[in-house]
Amino acid sequence: MNRHALTLFELNSLVSDVIDTAFDHAYWVEAELSEAREVRGHCYMELIQKDIFSATPVARASAKCWKTTWTRLKPKFEHTTGQQLHAGMKVMLLVTANFHAAYGFSWIVQDIDPTYTLGDMARKRMEIIRQLKEEGVFDLQKELAMPMFTQRVAVISSENAAGYGDFCHQLHENDYGFVFQTQLFPAIMQGDQVEPTVISALNDIYNNVDDYDVVVIIRGGGATADLSGFDTLALAENVANFPLPIVTGIGHDRDESILDMVSHTRVKTPTAAAALLVDHLAGVWSHIESLLERITGHVQQRMEAEWARLDRVSERIPILFSLVKERQGAKLQRVMTDIANSIKEQLTREQHKVTMLTNTIRPLTEKRLTTEHNRLEQLTLRAKALDPERLLKRGYSITLLHGKALHDPSAVREGDVIETKVEKGMLTSIIHLGNSSHHK
């Protein structure tokens, strides 16, 4: 069986002819970008449509915007929306069908309606704002007070951004000579990585939150487009709940981002953020100087009043001293008279007591002496009656053992020497417990 086969190019060319015939005009299409990239001036997009209930893709397509068209559409879109094309963005495109024999089918973008994207962005922003207000965190930053001496600054920015350098120069080279301490917490300030990197920087600051007075989030030196990363719920919640005041200066003139809305203070540029901190400290310094002047004035007035009062008192001192001297002299005379009278009265009372004691002591002493004399005579008679010499004269004797009177014969032992004292002398004897004794 003979078959006539087409080449792939021939087949694709037929398809191209059919598409060119069937889709002979442009179509407006609503879609979400799953990818958008520029290559050599051309913009390549991947379009997607998701199921409204499950978010599952139900349609996909590729789209291209050639350089000549993209050069015209890009600045208009970014100026209107303030953002670059990025994944997740809703767009409305004017497209024509194109089937290339070598590269297949794609939609060719002829125009973009930025107002559609702007409306979708506004809807998302309003939804995030509504949720933040329902959570009660939308105005939390506004309730914080900027510390009086705001000098320790945590900066969240891109390390190599020109805006960060401008901020540091403006801050440290201020006209007042104020000293600030800054520490950079690097983050990506453009594109899809804004949210996770800024939240990570906030977490690092929170871990040492007592080391800082304020947080400054700045972005500068780049395009004003692609700021969608600052319009996310997660980033807004982190900023709104942060315990330190947060100043934003992300460098754009369009409507405020959600990050700007929930921050403590929003300024347009990094240099404006630095100027804000310098002006705040200058206001504090001015207030201190004002208080110093008031204190100095009050002290001066008080000193003048006290000097005047001192002068008046000094004038009255001689008169007051004379009066006091007279009063104290009279008082001293009265005290001396009272003391002299008291001493006389006391001496009279004591002299009377001495006289009475003298009259009482004499008869008592004489009586006591008589009693003791009689007692002494009785003791003398008794002592004479008990005198051993008198007993010896009457024929009695006293036996001594070891110089002591012997009362019990059983107290002596064989060979003991005893002495017998009689009126005319002393007898010495040696004890023999046998039948004889020796006497001297």
Q: Give 108-172 as a DSSP string.
A: EEEEE-HHHHHHHHHHHHHHHHHHHHHHT-TTTGGGSPPPTT--EEEEEE-TT-HHHHHHHHHHH
- On whether the CB atoms of residues 138 and 239 are closer than 8 A, the answer is no
The predicted pLDDT at position 2 comes to: 58
Residue 117: the pLDDT is 87
Query: Lowest-confidence range among 165-169, 216-220, 317-321, 373-377?
Result: 317-321
Residues of the chain above pLDDT 70, percent: 95
| 189: nearest Cα among 156, 149, 148 | 156
Tokens found for residue 276: 């804000």
In whole angstroms, how far apart are CA 439 and each of 405, 429, 436? 18, 5, 10
All CATH 3.40.50.2300 domain ranges of the chain, comma separated, are 126-283
Q: Does residue 150 register a pLDDT over 70?
A: yes
More confident residue, 1 or 274: 274
* pTM score, whole prediction: 0.55
Question: What residues contact 280, with CB distance under 8 A and at least 6 apart?
Answer: 146, 150
What lies within 8 Å, CB to CB, of 283 at 6+ separation is none
Structure tokens at 226: 């692609």
Three-state SS at 217: strand
355's enclosing H/E stretch is: helix 270-385
CA distance 323 to 234: 86
The answer on pLDDT for 153 being more than 80 is yes
Residue 436 banded pLDDT, cuts 50, 70, 90: very low
d(CA 389, CA 184) in angstroms, rounded, equals: 128
pLDDT at 266: 93
Residue 132 in this model has a pLDDT that exceeds 80? yes
Is the model's pLDDT at 312 over the cut of 70?
A: yes
Question: Which fold is adopted by the domain 126-283?
Answer: Rossmann fold (3.40.50)
Q: What angle do CA 395, 398, 399 make, to 5 degrees?
A: 135
Residue-level pLDDT at 1: 53
> Does residue 160 have a pLDDT over 80?
yes
pLDDT category of residue 162 using cuts at 50, 70 and 90: confident
Q: What is the CATH number of domain 8-121?
A: 2.40.50.140
Burial of 131 (0-12, 13-18, 19+ CB in 10 A): middle
Is a pLDDT exceeding 50 seen at residue 172?
Answer: yes
Question: Whole-angstrom Cα distance, residue 15 to residue 134?
Answer: 55
Q: What percent of the chain has pLDDT over 90?
A: 44
* pLDDT above 80 (res 191): no
Mapped onto helix, strand or coil, the DSSP state of residue 368 is helix
129: left (phi over 0), alpha (psi -120 to 50) or beta: alpha
Digit-coded pLDDT (tens) for 289-307: 889 888 988 898 999 888 9
Any idea what the Cα angle at residue 417 is, between residues 414 and 419, rounded to 5°?
A: 140
Query: Please, is 49 exposed, middle or buried when counting C-beta atoms within 10 Å of its C-beta (0-12, 13-18, 19+)?
Result: middle
pLDDT tens digits, one per residue of 49-96: 988 887 788 999 999 999 999 999 999 998 888 788 988 889 999 999
Residue intervals in the chain for CATH 2.40.50.140: 8-121
**Structure confidence at residue 273 as a pLDDT band (50, 70, 90):** very high
